Structures are given as C-alpha cells and as structure tokens.
Amino acid sequence: MSDSPKRGIIFSGGAFHPAHFFDIIKQRLQDAKIFDPVLVSAHPSLGNDSRGKTLWDDVEALRAQMTPYVDDGTEFIVVGHSYGGFPGFAATEGWTVEQRAAAGKKGGIRAVVFNAAPAPLVRGSTAIGVFDDGVEHEYPPFLEHGPQGEKGQLAYPAKISKHSFYNDLDKSKADELWDTLVPISQEAIETPTNYLVTDVNLPYYYILCEKDATVPREIQQAVADAIPGCTVFNIDAGHTAFVSQPARFVEILEQIKEDVFAANRK
C-alpha cells in the first residue's frame, strides 16, 4: 500500500460567482479521480448577507474546508479564480506542506494556481489594486460599488460584465449564468495584504485566459511574469474558462498535478 499523501484541490472562486459555477469542473475531476477531495470555496464575502466581510473571512473559510483533510495528511493545490486568487494565496500563510511539517503536522498546501487572477505583488495591495495609500483610485469598470473605503457596502457586477465575464458563451448560457450572480462585500475586495508571492517558496502556476474581456491578456501575462518561477498555461477561453472549456481546464489541472507531485520536486 502506498504511503503517498492524498492529493486534493480547492477552488477559491471569484467575485459574484457562487460555488455552483464550479459544478461542471468538479464533477469531471471527481469522475476522472484526478483529485481527492475536490472542494469549492464557500466565501462568506459573497451574497446579500455579506456586508462587512473581508478577505480574511474568506481565508478562514477556505482553511476550515481544508482542515479535516490536511489533518489527515492531504496535500492541496489551491486554484484562485479572479478575486479568489487573493484569499486562495493568503490561505497558504503558515499552511504550506513545508511549514506544517516543521510544526509537526501533516498535509497542507502544496501549490497555488492563479486563473485570470491578480496576485499580491506589492505590500498593501488589494484584489483590485493598491488602495491603502490615502488616494482615491478608480475601480475596474466591471464593478458597481459604494464610496471607497466605506464600511458595510456591497459591490455588484456592472451591466458590461455579462459580456466581459461570458463573451465566449452563447447568449442563452450567458443570461442563465448572469441571473445567478450575487454581490460581494466591498470590504473584501478592498482588504489590503502584506503577504506576497515572494514571501513563500511554492510552485506557482497561471492559467491565462486568452479571450478574457475582464482581465485582459496582457495584464494576466504581466502578473504571471512577476510571480517567481511561475509556469503559464494558456487556454483559448474567456474569463470563466472552467465553464466554457471544462475539458481543456481539466487537462491543464492534470498536467499541473503531475508537475507538482513529481518525484523529483521537493
């Protein structure tokens, strides 16, 4: 019997997109037995009752989902989509396999995958830029929001987001998905972090969406180029590639898994 650790995956979803957006990809990964378990974030920052929730609430929720598995020795790949790249990465602090082993614990986070996502590259950065410098900044155009920095606000997808999120899906599918979006706590997307990708030695990957109309290709590439040792996979899809191109998305994740758990990788 092999004593290799179980190899799990958890998806840290983006703003406005509840867990059901990952149903297709989750089912395919489970059916193919590529990962065990396959988890999807339940971000407290999402929904009509999310006022006041921050990035750290999402981080704690991610860790809570993983806890029973890592305590049993499971090693996870975290996939952060869009906003989800921030809580997904932040959850690694003190939770990497190496850090947990040093504390006499099993399991942990083995690698991070950013998908059409920002990454914390500058201290004080948020998922939508640097907002803690006392200067009024312009929000991305796909967000409708309250006054910057005001507590208890919700942010909503702007009307243009239907196209920017789902430009590679037919209209009926885009309409169907659009109707299931939920608001996000504005405080979550404005939460600054000082924990950067340069602060921890992990395998990093970036799934770059070539047709993304929300996070343009050149921005994704710039983020990937700034992440130390990042391996880039390209996918000919829009912002929600796990919905529009699930077969290719699974193929990429399987390649990442093989690389992360290669016998010669520490």
How far is the C-alpha of 205 from the C-alpha of 250, rounded, in Å? 14
Write out pLDDT tens, residues 78-102: 999 999 999 999 999 999 999 999 9
Domains: count for the chain: 1
Tens digit of each residue's pLDDT (9 = 90 or more) over 163-193? 999 999 999 999 999 999 999 999 999 999 9
The pLDDT, as a whole number, for residue 1 is 37
Residue 265 lies in a domain: no
Q: Is the pLDDT of residue 134 over 60?
A: no
Predicted pLDDT at 4: 76
Does 203 fall in a domain?
Answer: yes
- Which of 126-135, 182-191, 206-215, 253-262 is predicted with the least confidence, judged by mean pLDDT? 126-135
Q: Is residue 222 part of a domain?
A: yes
Q: Is residue 266 part of a domain?
A: no
pTM (2 d.p.): 0.94
Domain with 109 in it = 7-260
> How confident is the model over 7-53, as pLDDT tens digits?
999 999 999 999 999 999 999 999 999 999 999 999 999 999 999 99
Q: What is the pLDDT of residue 148?
A: 82
- Domain membership of residue 2 (yes or no) is no
More confident call, 43 vs 145:
43
* pLDDT greater than 60 at residue 135: no
Q: Quick check: is 148 in a domain?
A: yes
- Mean pLDDT on 59-63: 98
Q: Among 26-40, 136-150, 203-217, 236-250, which is the least confidently predicted range?
A: 136-150
Confidence at residue 143, expressed as pLDDT on a 0 to 100 scale: 83
Q: Does the structure show a pLDDT above 90 at 130?
A: no
Is the pLDDT at 129 greater than 80, yes or no?
no
184 is a domain residue: yes
Asked whether residue 145 is assigned to any structural domain, the reply reads: yes
For residue 38, what pLDDT is reported?
Answer: 98
Is the pLDDT at 133 greater than 60? The verdict is no
Q: How high is the mean pLDDT of the chain? A: 93
CATH number of the domain within which 206 lies: 3.40.50.1820
